[in-house]
């Protein structure tokens, strides 16, 4: 078999000629549109692609990107970040979490600041490292602060399963896994929402399948295209959306669910992973999304049979319960609904920066304000 | 029998410390000034002098293409070279953790001696401290250095509109190497750090009569940090063509996997140059004697906003911002 090199996985998807040809086609077709398109890229990964590669600059005036809530770090409300800090401050506890999570400030500072004060906070890339840390520190309680949408949930489920089968008693979980469809539903159901097309998060769909978005297509009459993350993927997706809009305009054809990222996603998703998730977790009645508020059924919690591993129950007397909102000047709720752009916020780039974020969208590199701050849309902000 | 590990007694000024100094530091760094073993080294220097200091801590201590010792020499020597100064005299201070392997310490000191040969600089004074086990991770080295200025006026505030911006070789390999060598990422590749002394390249540029405006070794913060420092200090804009930046496939690969930016990753033997546009070809010809992938990546220009803009191969533009915070891999 010919060796696959990493660059072959992305090189063709960043080919300037293909990109030029797609943008030409989109721009040509878009002149035929009667109504403008406000497309929400739900996933922070897509926001990152659009801003980093300047794809928004390649779009005609009647196509606008609206940056959605699909960044697991950004949507974490402050009270739950406080939980992480409160847990890390417990004696004999090692708090383990993923990447960006450690620099997000709650009202008690960030996990990085907690670590500087002496808290044992470990940032890992592979959740399985939490198991190793638990084995190496049998006298300590290791708490895995689990975050992420459907994409990362199976890894946490496997971690729970391994801790059970290997009898690793000192590994606990604080579960913050959230779900894409209820969050998008909450945005689209708002009367003031301007979104009329969706770019579907696709790594979520690798696990959960593309079909999870069909109810959104049916309910809100919007095209949803499940897209890959390279520039050519996103542009091809945009072309699909424009074509769907034109078909609807010309022949009244209903919007549909399309799968652009077919090299990784199948309609039904990864059923083995889904089974593991289902065994381990059940939906919460509601979960507060930072910037969006309470959304019913939008997150998961450990099933009762794993209550002995649920740090939220075990440390319930140590964890604060007060709900904490962002500063009232913060425009994140409007930005997430497509009613405002990051640079329209009075705090953007001044009181609110990636080093000292005030609102959810500035928090992680995949948040809309953060992406605008780092890459700035030269055409919009100048 | 000689000890195999550093003990607290090696730092307490007595016989054990003298033994260690003799068989390690005096042996490998030997020169007339050092061997006088006075409280202070006596130096003879003429004209303007550049002076710099840096403390080195790296995990892991040994990495493909170098170790903390090589880094400690190249780092300080390069800071002098970037100021247009010929590196001449260095100090070296070691803070060593009790229990550290003397064999490893010897390797580090040998690497330092070897790296010094590239610039001809000498270590003329030093210090050794040993701290109890657990108070630091292995060893920390501080080096300070002085050199006589051979090319005056190099400065971060001296980048002129219309200057060409050059890089001396591909960027990001040291940072990538260190990340791959760490336990958390568990990656293997043939990549080696660019860790190297830059004085021979700077001297060759001077000898060839190339007019220089600013030089910077792109250490922590990488290319992005240097360019942003220049735009702020020189009050110019800098425009970079993304496709012109030389980046190895391995570095691209690591960045793709973990969500890093090659331009944010550290280098330890790569410099960025601002030279008048008419000098660019001459400078590149000299640099390519050392690394064939030296390249012109963009230019400086008068601008209202003193920022770095990057143009993609398909014509979109974005800012190349100053790196922030610690490097953390993405979540999914």
**Residue A281, strand partner residues:** A302
pLDDT on residue A381: 43
The whole-chain average pLDDT of chain A stands at 92
Q: Is B321–A374 a contact, with Cβ atoms under 8 angstroms apart?
A: yes
Q: Does pLDDT of A7 surpass 90?
A: no
* Residue B46: φ, ψ to 5°: -115, 155
- State how far residue B320 is from chain A, nearest Cα, in angstroms: 7
- Candidates A228, A310, A52; CA nearest to B261 is A52
Give residue-wise pLDDT tens across range A138-165: 999 999 999 999 999 999 999 999 999 9
Question: Once rounded to an integer, what is the mean pLDDT over residues A274-290?
Answer: 96
Q: Is B330–A53 a contact, with Cβ atoms under 8 angstroms apart?
A: no
CA Rg value for chain B: 21
pLDDT on residue A6: 64
* Angstrom distances, CA of residue A165 to CA of A131, A171, A379: 12, 12, 56
Give residue-wise pLDDT tens across range A66-76: 988 888 888 99
Residue A160: CATH number of its domain: 3.40.50.11740
DSSP alpha helices (H): ranges in B131-258? 173-181, 199-207, 222-234, 249-258
Q: Are A172 and A310 in contact (CB under 8 A)?
A: yes
Q: Would you call A285 exposed, middle or buried from its count of C-beta atoms within 10 A (0-12, 13-18, 19+)?
A: exposed
The domain spans of chain B are: 8-149, 163-319
Q: Does pLDDT of A125 surpass 50?
A: yes
pLDDT on residue A9: 66
Domain at B8-149: CATH code:
3.30.1330.10
Nearest chain A Cα to B323, which residue?
A: A374
**Does any CB of chain A come closer than 8 Å to the CB of residue B331?**
yes
Closest Cβ opposite residue B331 in set A53, A152, A382: A152
Q: Is B328–A99 a contact, with Cβ atoms under 8 angstroms apart?
A: yes
CA separation for the pair B209, A38 (Å, rounded): 57
**Does any CB of chain A come closer than 8 Å to the CB of residue B327?**
no
Q: Report which secondary-structure segment, H or E, holds A226.
A: strand A224-226
> To probe the interface with B, which of A20, A26, A42, A53 has the most B CB atoms within 10 Å?
A53
Binned at pLDDT 50, 70 and 90, residue A24 comes out as very high
**Does any CB of chain A come closer than 8 Å to the CB of residue B318?**
yes
Q: Does pLDDT of A109 surpass 70?
A: yes
In a domain, A256, yes or no: no
Binned at pLDDT 50, 70 and 90, residue A375 comes out as confident
- Candidates B119, B80, B245; CA nearest to B172 is B245
Give residue-wise pLDDT tens across range A316-333: 999 999 999 888 899 988
Q: Does pLDDT of A220 surpass 70?
A: yes
Check residue A88 and report its DSSP letter. Answer: H
Q: Report which secondary-structure segment, H or E, holds A17.
A: helix A16-30
CA separation for the pair A359, A201 (Å, rounded): 22
- State how far residue B269 is from chain A, nearest Cα, in angstroms: 25
In a 13 Å sphere around the CA of A144, the CA atoms on its Cβ side amount to 34
Q: Is A6–B331 a contact, with Cβ atoms under 8 angstroms apart?
A: no
Q: Kind of pairing, strands B163-167 and B122-131? A: unpaired
- Candidates A2, A157, A19, A81; CA nearest to A360 is A81
Which of A35-49, A273-287, B1-15 has maximum average pLDDT? A273-287
* Residue A284: φ, ψ to 5°: -80, 155
> To probe the interface with B, which of A123, A378, A382 has the most B CB atoms within 10 Å?
A378
- Candidates A92, A102, A151, A138; CA nearest to A123 is A102
Highest CATH level, class, for B163-319: alpha beta
Q: Is A365–B319 a contact, with Cβ atoms under 8 angstroms apart?
A: no
**ipTM, 2 dp:** 0.82
- State how far residue A376 is from chain B, nearest Cα, in angstroms: 6
> To probe the interface with A, which of B249, B316, B317 has the most A CB atoms within 10 Å?
B316
Total domains in chain A come to 1
Which chain B residues touch A58 with a CB distance below 8 Å? 314, 316
Which chain A residues touch B324 with a CB distance below 8 Å? 354-355
Question: Once rounded to an integer, what is the mean pLDDT over residues A192-199?
Answer: 93
Q: Is B317–A57 a contact, with Cβ atoms under 8 angstroms apart?
A: yes
Nearest chain B Cα to A6, which residue?
A: B253
- State how far residue B56 is from chain A, nearest Cα, in angstroms: 20
Whether the ω angle into residue A19 lies within 30 degrees of 0, i.e. cis, is: no
pLDDT, tens digit only, all 332 positions of chain B: 567 899 988 888 888 888 888 989 999 999 999 999 899 999 998 899 999 999 999 989 999 999 999 999 999 999 999 999 999 999 999 999 999 999 999 999 999 999 999 999 999 999 999 999 999 999 999 999 999 999 999 999 999 999 999 999 999 999 999 888 876 666 778 899 999 999 999 999 999 999 999 999 999 999 999 999 999 999 999 999 999 999 998 898 888 888 889 999 999 999 999 999 999 999 999 999 999 999 999 999 999 999 999 999 999 999 998 887 777 777 66
**Residue B217, strand partner residues:** B271
In a domain, A115, yes or no: yes
To the nearest 10°, report the CA torsion of A334, A335, A341, A342.
Answer: 110
Closest Cβ opposite residue B332 in set A54, A102, A203: A203
**Does any CB of chain A come closer than 8 Å to the CB of residue B319?**
yes
In a domain, A337, yes or no: no
Residues spanned by the domain of A129: 78-180+273-314
Q: Are B173 and A118 in contact (CB under 8 A)?
A: no
**Does any CB of chain A come closer than 8 Å to the CB of residue B321?**
yes
Give residue-wise pLDDT tens across range A239-274: 999 999 999 999 999 999 999 999 999 999 999 999
pLDDT on residue A348: 93
Question: What are B263's two structure tokens?
Answer: 């331009």
Q: Is A57–B256 a contact, with Cβ atoms under 8 angstroms apart?
A: no
In a domain, A125, yes or no: yes
Instruction: Please state at what angle helix A44-52 crosses helix A368-375, rounded to 10 degrees.
Output: 20
For CA atoms A256, A261, A263, A264, give the dihedral sign.
negative
pLDDT on residue A337: 77
Binned at pLDDT 50, 70 and 90, residue A366 comes out as confident
Which chain B residues touch A374 with a CB distance below 8 Å? 319, 321
Give residue-wise pLDDT tens across range B58-99: 989 999 999 999 999 999 999 999 999 999 999 999 999 999
Binned at pLDDT 50, 70 and 90, residue A380 comes out as very low
């Amino acid at each position: 078999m010919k060796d696959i090199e990493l660059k072959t996985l992305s090189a063709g998807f960043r080919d300037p000629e293909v990109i030029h040809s797609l943008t030409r086609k989109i721009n040509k077709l878009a002149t035929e549109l009667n109504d403008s398109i406000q497309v929400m890229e739900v996933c922070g990964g897509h926001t990152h692609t659009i801003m980093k590669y300047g794809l928004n600059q390649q779009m005609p005036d009647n196509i606008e990107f609206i940056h959605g809530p699909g960044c697991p770090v950004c949507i974490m409300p402050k009270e739950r970040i406080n939980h992480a800090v409160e847990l890390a401050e417990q004696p004999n506890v090692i708090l383990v979490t993923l990447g960006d999570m450690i620099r997000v400030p709650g009202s008690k500072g960030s996990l990085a600041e907690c670590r500087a004060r002496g808290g044992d906070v470990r940032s890992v890339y592979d959740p399985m490292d939490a198991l190793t840390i638990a084995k190496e520190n049998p006298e300590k309680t290791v708490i895995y602060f689990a975050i992420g949408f459907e994409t990362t949930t199976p890894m946490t489920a496997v971690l729970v399963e391994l801790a059970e089968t290997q009898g690793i008693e000192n590994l606990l979980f604080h579960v913050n896994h959230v779900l894409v469809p209820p969050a998008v539903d909450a945005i689209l159901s708002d009367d003031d929402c301007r979104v009329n097309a969706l770019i579907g998060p696709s790594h979520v769909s690798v696990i959960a399948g593309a079909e999870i978005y069909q109810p959104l297509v049916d309910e809100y009459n919007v095209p949803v295209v499940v897209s890959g993350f390279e520039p050519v993927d996103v542009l091809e997706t945009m072309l699909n959306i424009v074509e769907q809009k034109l078909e609807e305009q010309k022949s009244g054809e209903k919007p549909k669910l399309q799968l652009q990222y077919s090299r990784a996603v199948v309609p039904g998703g990864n059923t083995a992973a889904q089974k593991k998730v289902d065994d381990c977790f059940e939906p919460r009645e509601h979960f507060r999304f930072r910037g969006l508020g309470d959304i019913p059924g939008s997150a998961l919690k450990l099933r009762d049979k794993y209550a002995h591993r649920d740090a939220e129950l075990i440390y319930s007397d140590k964890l604060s319960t007060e709900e904490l909102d962002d500063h009232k000047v913060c425009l994140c709720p409007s930005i997430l609904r497509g009613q405002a752009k990051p640079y329209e916020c009075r705090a953007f780039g001044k009181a609110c920066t990636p080093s000292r974020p005030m609102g959810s969208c500035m928090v992680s590199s995949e948040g809309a304000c953060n992406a605008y701050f780092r890459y700035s849309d030269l055409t919009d902000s100048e | 029998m000689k000890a195999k590990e550093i003990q607290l007694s090696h730092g307490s000024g007595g016989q054990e410390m003298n033994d260690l100094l003799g068989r390690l530091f005096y042996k490998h760094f030997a020169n007339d000034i050092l061997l006088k073993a006075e409280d202070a080294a006596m130096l003879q220097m003429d004209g303007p002098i550049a002076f710099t200091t840096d403390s080195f801590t790296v995990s892991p201590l040994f990495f493909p293409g170098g170790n903390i010792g090589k880094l400690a020499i190249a780092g300080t020597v390069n800071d002098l070279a970037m100021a247009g100064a010929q590196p001449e005299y260095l100090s070296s201070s070691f803070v060593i953790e009790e229990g550290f392997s003397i064999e490893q310490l010897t390797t580090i000191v040998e690497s330092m001696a070897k790296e010094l040969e590239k610039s001809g600089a000498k270590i003329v004074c030093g210090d050794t401290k040993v701290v109890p086990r657990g108070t630091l991770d292995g060893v920390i080295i501080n080096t300070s250095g002085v050199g006589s200025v051979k090319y005056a006026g190099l400065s971060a505030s001296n980048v002129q509109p219309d200057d060409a911006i050059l890089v001396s070789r591909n960027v990001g390999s040291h940072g990538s190497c260190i990340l791959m060598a760490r336990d958390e990422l568990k990656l293997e590749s043939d990549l080696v750090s660019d860790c190297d002394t830059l004085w021979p390249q700077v001297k060759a540029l001077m000898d060839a009569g190339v007019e220089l405006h600013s030089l910077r070794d792109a250490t922590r913060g990488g290319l992005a940090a240097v360019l942003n420092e220049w735009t702020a200090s020189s009050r110019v804009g800098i425009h970079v063509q993304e496709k012109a930046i030389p980046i190895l496939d391995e570095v691209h690969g690591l960045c793709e996997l973990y969500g890093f930016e090659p331009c944010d990753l550290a280098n330890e033997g790569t410099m960025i140059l601002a030279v008048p546009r008419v000098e660019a070809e001459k400078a590149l010809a000299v640099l390519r004697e050392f690394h064939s992938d030296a390249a012109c990546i963009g230019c400086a220009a008068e601008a209202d906003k003193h920022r770095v803009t990057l143009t993609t191969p398909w014509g979109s533009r974005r800012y190349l911002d100053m790196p922030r915070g610690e490097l953390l891999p993405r979540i999914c």
